[in-house]
Amino acid sequence: MLLTEKQKIALSKFMKMVLSRRTAKALSELIGFEVVMKISQVSLSPLSKLTTELPNYSQEDIVSIHQMFQGKIEGEALLILNYSFAVMLTNLLRNSSPDGILHLNVSACEVLTEAGNILLNSYGSMLSTLMGCQLTFSIPTFQIEPLPDLVRSLILSKNEMRYVLIVDTTFQFYDNSVKGYLVFVSGVIPLSCLIKGIEASIDLAILNC
């Protein structure tokens, strides 16, 4: 299951719309100063290849905020950061705090989970509109673990061939930036429906210009 160039462009436009219109604004309101979110690349690969797609994330534990969704399409959505970037992002999100942290604590987990919840819910809301269906989301969970362990758990959670849509994302705060990944995991049929729906919405937008 590969993406055509048209599909890559359509998915990139869709994700930029998600992040720029809703998520960045919601995060800015949460922390009290402007957040800019940028998309540099969108790719699709078998879930088993996720460790190969994120080679720089094998050097340390990764942090993930994880939500399951179900409805007309089903799957799982995650925000993935390597540990050091998660610490950096926490300090940027807690800009008003006098002391930065060196290691994630309970408070940091809460901050990151809230940010991840905003990010993933923004995606889900637009996805529901795009597909014309209501999706139900689980409560977000926070996890720190090696990337291979995360991939193994995602593979074992469903008895089917699963694919992962990877969105290379950068959080921009003034002169600082933190890189992470939005990851969407699902089976072949749900992802095919998603891609077709996004293509149709982009084509419609072009016709209405």
Token digits of residue 131:
């597909």
Tens digits of residue pLDDT in 26-76: 777 777 777 888 888 888 888 988 988 887 787 889 999 999 888 777 888
* Alpha-carbon span 147 to 171, nearest angstrom: 21
Q: What is the pLDDT of residues 3-25, one digit of tens each?
A: 777 777 777 777 777 776 677 77
Q: What average pLDDT is seen over the chain?
A: 81
Q: Could you list the residue range(s) of the whole structural domain that residue 103 is in?
A: 5-208
The reported pTM is: 0.85
**pLDDT reported for residue 131:** 66
Domain count, the chain: 1
Confidence of residue 206 (pLDDT cuts 50, 70, 90): very low
Exposure pattern of 16-27 as b/e (b: 16+ CB <10 Å)? ebbbeebbbbbb
Sign of CA dihedral 180, 198, 21, 128: negative
How far is 166 from 209, CA to CA, in rounded Å?
Answer: 29
The CATH code of the domain that includes 171 is: 3.40.1550.10
